[in-house]
Structure 1
Amino acid sequence: MSDEKRPLLIGPAIPFDNNESQTVELVSSSSPAKDDKSKSEYNPASERSLEHPTSNFDTLIHLLKGNIGTGILAMPDAFKNAGLYLGICGTLLMGVICTHCMHILVRCSRELCIRNQRPSMNFADVVEEAFAMGPIFLRPHAKKIRHVVDIFLVITQLGFCCVYFLFVATNLQDIMHIFHVNLGVHSYLALLFPPLLALGMVKNLKYLTPVSLIASLMTAWGLIITFYYILQDLPPTNTVKAFSSWHQLPLYFGTAIYAFEGIGVILPLENNMKTPEALGGAAGVLNTGMAIVAALYTAIGFFGYLKYGSHVLGSITLNLPGSALAQSARAAMAAAILLSYGLQLYVPVTVVWPMVKARLTTDAALEYGEAVVRFVLISITFMAAVMIPNLSAIISLVGAFSSSALALIFPPIIELVTFWPDRGWRLYKNVAIVIFGLTGFGFGTYASIQNILTYT
């Protein structure tokens, strides 16, 4: 099979030109190329040609690492902005909604793959095909909405990478203070650039599995030690606020949705699975992974805020004492986040590189183009971390602005458009989720920007 005809399994396909787009709309609306029987028998997973398919365990590891990162360590700070009991209810509710939206995206992807007889799609493919085959008045906007999703995907994942840069730098700075090394956070950012650049150059998701496994073990160690400290000498629950204040709730929303937003890696993971059907289901990989994530987020948020109260920092590891054991937790979490950088960079590369590749003509440009794209994206995250060295502010802004759009706004819209003739009860459910997402998007973004301007 030639390169021009080989299906792109991960990352966005090169956009159709106008003529091709019109042809797809004509075929989908008036004269289907395949009959209903052949479409019902089409199995997208069996049509995929994967060089390095991932197992269910590989996928679970990637899913956990895609969700358990700096966000979990920011949950006590989120509880501070919500209050102890509202934080519990809000975090569990957020977990349920975000997991449901992930299922929505996977289900719509499979449905549209069958309709179009394509082996796989990514986030942007799904939204484009949903609009192209949806209600007639939405079809002309298919490409525009695809570009919007691509932009939010890139912003979200680069925002994660920026937070990763800053998280490792601030924790490293805190560790080095014990050894009387007093460098500024910008110096540590500069020192971290070479190793993160090396990790960002890894191209194959399969090769990141051992790295993610090591990072998961380090994360487990860091969380165990963190729980060891925050569970000691806990004060009564009446020493902290049950409900914080209305003007702080948007900051809670931004941090919480940042922590839960792993939707950007769901379709790449599903597209690379050896048995993608194992992702869904009541006891599938997705529900299993997200149940673990939600339980950990709620626990560390509750006990971390109860332990340190209003003094809790943007990362709970920064509140730990200066003992050797506590420092090992900081070091382990910092190393785990550092090793996870390549996985978070994977999604924006799959969005940006095909667009750049389509415009390259020389062999030399094609050979080195992806490396250049990766270098530029890594440099962008580095510069953003240098410009706004406020960990909690960046986490809340990324969550409120881009994560809420991807996790809570686009999936229900996609489901409505995909199953438009049979929308029924989906209409009320999805409209409620969109309103919830838009409310958090607006108020959360405003509060986060105001917070950055106040403390930067």
Structure 2
Amino acid sequence: MSKENLNLQEFGKFKPRQVKREVADKSAQEYDPHHHRNVAHPTTNAETLIHLLKGSFGTGILAMPEAFKNAGMVNGFIFTILIGILCTYGLHILVQAQYILCKRMKVPLLTYPESMKAALLCGPNFLHPFAKISPYLVDVFLIVYQLGICCVYVIFVAENMKELCDVYLSEPMAIELYTLILMAPFIVILSVPNLKWLTPFSLVSNLITVTCFGIVLYYIFSNIQPIEERPLVGTLYKFPLFFGTTLFALEAVGVVIALENNMKTPKSFGGHFGVLNVAMFFITLSYLGMGFFGYWRYGDGTKSSITLNLPPEQILSKVVQGLYSIAIFISYGLQGFVPINIMWNGYLAHYFTNRKRPWLWEYLLRTATVIVTFLLALFIPLLGYFISLFGAFCLSALGIAFPAIMDICVKWHERRGYKDWVLYKNIFLILIGILGLLSGSYSCISEIVRELSSPKRLN
């Protein structure tokens, strides 16, 4: 078996019996995939932590006050912590399942889609027929989710640029015009070819983000309202919107897998005090604080991004809108790296290897990806509902249900020692994922249709 990473065509040759023979092979226990990885531009632990924080401190944290508006103060506080724990646990079992499968198959690296296929082939017989299509299903979810993030970033930057610039114009410009003006810079940032080169930008972006958070908190605490005026519990109909927004904010499965795969010392990623746990602790704490205090301050007037609640006439609020727009602009390159990597390396690169200037075709793909996200942003400019929809639809599957299915399958051969609580735990996670996907998507799509068909918007 090749020691290099498998592509989808090679991986398709494996059959259930072959995978199970690998499971029984004792030599697999001696093989450590981390020692055989060959990454062109590996990232250190610090660089990985910087990227992970940058990938998570996006527009989602600024939407957390609106999420609390949909859930209520107490519900929002409790369930933000629970969803943070759920997201972290889902990422852990996903990374662990990938590592186990790499050991069994004696390959240094498996992508998320390849891991899903291998896991299903290791699992119960009734899941084997789904193995062939599973990589494409995972890829579709990953691409849609990451493009959704990019689309949200475009909407966020355009809306904040409009808030920032309109007060200086004799006649305000349409949001669509701001969006079109931003297209060229976004094409440039998505043209950065690897994560190593993005590290300095991510570091600058993190410093900008921390500065902006400090200013936003200044505005929040400058005129805080009595907490008794805020409802403790929201309505059941609005709760799926909270779930989708919070899941979108806290879950970064596509970026996490890409970062772990590009680490110089991937063993440092997991563990009690590994990169993932350290990052998720600070991320969850930050999101909890921003959501709780942001909603406490602005109440029912909370907007889809808390930066839009800042007084537009004050210089300090304009500094926040401008700086955070720059930070999100930089993050676009990191988030866009994932779908480009899937589409180019997984499906398209081998068609252009024998052509002149294959790199040119890759950059055409990058440009086309930016154009697609901008078209979506132009036609459906509803930031809050977009965030909830992509969180509920994609992350319920990618971050919760799929990792639980993989955990069941990779341990299925150990049925004699397979504890019932592990199986029941994973079934519970799958049910949460399905429920979140269906209820969250329904609520978001209903609200988007209602907003787009409202007389105010039609006029």
Q: TM-score range by the shorter chain?
A: over 0.9
Instruction: Using the TM superposition, name which of 155-164 and 392-401 deviates more.
Output: 392-401
Give the count of matched residue pairs.
444
- Aligned with 1:421 (options 404, 413, 417): 413
Q: Does 1:172 align with 2:165?
A: no
Conserved 8 A contact 2:91-2:399: yes
Q: Does 1:281 align with 2:281?
A: no
For residues 258 and 17 of structure 1, the distance between their equivalents in structure 2, rounded to whole angstroms, comes to 31
Q: CA 1:390 to 1:6, structure 2 compared with 1: closer, same or farther past 3 Å?
A: same
- Aligned with 1:195 (options 155, 162, 185): 185
- Aligned with 2:320 (options 318, 329, 335): 329
In structure 1, the residue matched to 2:223 is: 233
Give 1:34 deviation, angstroms.
8.9
Matches within 5 A, 1:57-456: 57-180=46-169, 182-322=172-312, 323-354=314-345, 355-360=347-352, 362-364=354-356, 366-422=358-414, 423-424=418-419, 425-456=421-452
Give 1:136 deviation, angstroms.
2.6
- Aligned with 1:26 (options 17, 28, 33): 17
Q: Over residues 321-376 of structure 1, what are the superposed CA-to-partner deviations in whole Å (9 max), with x where a residue is unaligned?
A: 13111111111111100011010011111111130223346413733221122122
Q: Over residues 369-406 of structure 1, what are the superposed CA-to-partner deviations in whole Å (9 max), with x where a residue is unaligned?
A: 21122122111111000010111111111111112211
SS in 2 for 1:231: helix
**2:448 partner letter:** I
For residues 349 and 14 of structure 1, the distance between their equivalents in structure 2, rounded to whole angstroms, comes to 16
Q: Over residues 173-202 of structure 1, what are the superposed CA-to-partner deviations in whole Å (9 max), with x where a residue is unaligned?
A: 001123136111111110110000011111
Q: Over residues 70-101 of structure 1, what are the superposed CA-to-partner deviations in whole Å (9 max), with x where a residue is unaligned?
A: 00000000000000110000100000000000
Q: Which runs of 4+ in 1 moved over 6 A?
A: none
Unaligned runs of 5+ in 1: none
Instruction: Using the TM superposition, name which of 145-154 and 44-53 deviates more.
Output: 44-53
Instruction: Using the TM superposition, name which of 265-274 and 342-351 deviates more.
Output: 265-274
Instruction: Using the TM superposition, name which of 211-220 and 161-170 deviates more.
Output: 211-220
TM-score, reference length from structure 2: 0.93
Conserved 8 A contact 1:121-1:267: no
For residues 243 and 23 of structure 2, the distance between their equivalents in structure 1, rounded to whole angstroms, comes to 46
Q: Over residues 260-303 of structure 1, what are the superposed CA-to-partner deviations in whole Å (9 max), with x where a residue is unaligned?
A: 12011222111111111111111111000000000000000001
Conserved 8 A contact 2:220-2:293: yes
Q: CA 1:93 to 1:136, structure 2 compared with 1: closer, same or farther past 3 Å?
A: same
Give 1:26 deviation, angstroms.
3.4
Q: Percent identity between the aligned chains?
A: 39
For residues 302 and 352 of structure 1, the distance between their equivalents in structure 2, rounded to whole angstroms, comes to 38
SS in 2 for 1:364: coil
SS in 2 for 1:16: helix
For residues 217 and 89 of structure 1, the distance between their equivalents in structure 2, rounded to whole angstroms, comes to 29
Conserved 8 A contact 1:91-1:256: yes
Coordinate RMSD, CA, aligned: 1.7
Instruction: Using the TM superposition, name which of 366-375 and 43-52 deviates more.
Output: 366-375
For residues 6 and 263 of structure 1, the distance between their equivalents in structure 2, rounded to whole angstroms, comes to 25
**1:13 partner letter:** N
For residues 209 and 148 of structure 2, the distance between their equivalents in structure 1, rounded to whole angstroms, comes to 20
Instruction: Using the TM superposition, name which of 321-330 and 175-184 deviates more.
Output: 175-184
SS in 2 for 1:59: helix
Conserved 8 A contact 1:397-1:448: yes
Conserved 8 A contact 1:14-1:358: no
For residues 33 and 275 of structure 1, the distance between their equivalents in structure 2, rounded to whole angstroms, comes to 25
TM-score, reference length from structure 1: 0.94
Give 1:6 deviation, angstroms.
7.9
